[in-house]
Structure 1
Amino acid sequence: MTNISRIQQVVQEIKPHIIIHCAAYTKVDHAEKEQDLAYRINAIGARNVAVASQLVGAKLVYISTDYVFQGARPDGYDEFHSPAPINIYGASKYAGEQFVKELHNKYFIVRTSWLYGKYGNNFVKTMMRLGKERDEISVVADQVGSPTYVADLNMVINKLIHTSLYGTYHVSNRGSCSWFEFAQKIFSYANMKVHVLPVSTEEFGAAAARPKYSIFQHNMLRLNGFSQMPSWEEGLERFFIETKSH
């Protein structure tokens, strides 16, 4: 992603109609010490993809994050609230957003949050693994956000790319919970008897600051006529049903 000549070469060879840019540096705590690497991948990489996709006239989907916000609004953030990231990861992703807006004219910036699914590392899989190893787990209870099942995110992206309704969208499952409440629900759906202890962010300890409230409001989806997102509980329940059936 950081080699603009190579990206342009590949994109011009393939000439795609749509590019979905998912590549990112996502190690939130490590980013505090690896600032240049985070910006090189999340900002410069986004710039390079934006330039290349603009050259061939491809629509561009840039996946971003709830961490672009400060986290000071208990009722959450819509797409018209101004970002104010409080860690390097969030700042680098917001820089990527700005490059996309400046350099491309057919873009969808899709901010999502607390993402989980069948593949890759995520909170649900971590809880399931720890639940098999321990009878008791401590989980942060004072960070509140909107969990998102990747299948629901994919469904919305697939709808967006077949339109010309460009802009910035918040795409998460509806509603909110704390990480502590999320963990409790995970073990409930998984029928695992694990005692979950609530702890504060300060007690848990982390190199990077996290938004206290990163709840998403879906104004752009609603204003552009898209259907309401499923609740986070519905998404989690379907995750367990669908992963068991495969």
Structure 2
Amino acid sequence: MKKILVTGTNGQLGSELRVLSKRYTQFEWVFTDRGELDLCDLVHLTMELSRMQPNYIINCAAHTAVDRAESEFELADVLNHQAVAVLAKWSAKNDCKLLHISTDYVFDGTAATPLAESAPTTPINVYGQTKLAGELACAQECPSSIIIRTSWVYSSFGANFVKTMSRLMQERDSLNVVNDQIGSPTYAADLAQAVLTIIIHPTWQAGIYHFSNEGEISWYEFALAIQEIGGFDCKVSGIPTSAYPTPAKRPQYSLLDKSKIKATFGVMVPDYKESLELCMRLLQ
């Protein structure tokens, strides 16, 4: 029986993979978080991997606190870059298939059309820089790896935009949400299904792939959809990024082109609103 190791189990994607794993009993699943496998301990990481001997690694672990990363470069770099290099090096030496999760934040946000995997990567914040370094290390140390870039992830698990908006819309009379950053949300359950579709596909095709739900919206429009589905009585107003300064810059436009992952693996990409309704039903 093939063994799948999942890192970052307590995150949104890791949690959704745990739910989904119950339908994929042909695999032995090993779910780890920092307590079971500390990716910051680079010395012991290789030893632990050799002890576990996985056939697949799905790397969901990351330093994802975008604003905090600006003042925590070393920690972000260890998790998003150096640990990825160790996973990739071990995978290459041990004939293990590595699937690594990356981000739309590797782009600078100046594009005006959906971003293909070959688009230039010029990150504008520490999170994006360290994630790009992780991608490059992954591809260099383990050329057979698969990298999936995703965006605006949410789930019924963990902290995310959907849960925050749902809470605030019930607590406040009005909210301001940025309306000039464009992209598409990703329901982590859909991403988890895409990952499993790739793993059970007859051919493993190495490379970079993009996945998010279908749709081209701003955070403001995303908030309006949450309000509509939740039936919340709250005034939601759109504001420019300049009116909501944050420690880390965000890409203005990071809509991902999903045609490659669809064509290569037959991955289904649901519309963002359909998936949002499914998630919010779980939250009620």
Who is 1:197 aligned against?
A: 237
Who is 2:141 aligned against?
A: 103
Which secondary structure state, in structure 2, belongs to the residue aligned with residue 229 of structure 1? coil
1:52 aligns with 2:90: yes
Amino acid at match of 2:72: E
1:130 aligns with 2:137: no
Deviation of the 1:103 alpha carbon: 0.4
Deviation of the 1:214 alpha carbon: 0.5
**How far apart in 1 are the matches of 2:74 and 2:106?**
18
Aligned pairs for 1:52-201 within 5 A: 52-163=90-201, 164-201=204-241
Superimposed CA distance per residue, residues 125-151 of structure 1 (whole angstroms, 9 cap, x where no aligned partner) = 010111121011110001011101111
**How far apart in 1 are the matches of 2:170 and 2:232?**
8
Which secondary structure state, in structure 1, belongs to the residue aligned with residue 237 of structure 2? strand
Who is 1:38 aligned against?
A: 76
Superimposed CA distance per residue, residues 137-189 of structure 1 (whole angstroms, 9 cap, x where no aligned partner) = 11000101110111110110001122312211101001111000000100110
The answer on whether the counterparts of 1:138 and 1:196 sit within 8 Å (CA) in structure 2 is yes
Superimposed CA distance per residue, residues 17-40 of structure 1 (whole angstroms, 9 cap, x where no aligned partner) = 111111111111121222222112
In structure 2, stretches of 5+ residues that fail to align are 1-38
**How far apart in 2 are the matches of 1:243 and 1:130?**
14
If the length of structure 2 is used for normalisation, what is the TM-score?
0.83
**How far apart in 1 are the matches of 2:228 and 2:104?**
26
- Percentage of matched positions with identical amino acids: 37
Alignment: residue pair count: 244
Tell me how large the CA RMSD over aligned residues is: 1.3
Who is 2:7 aligned against?
A: none
Deviation of the 1:237 alpha carbon: 1.4
Superimposed CA distance per residue, residues 89-112 of structure 1 (whole angstroms, 9 cap, x where no aligned partner) = 101000000000000132110111
Who is 2:23 aligned against?
A: none
In structure 1, stretches of 5+ residues that fail to align are none
If the length of structure 1 is used for normalisation, what is the TM-score?
0.95
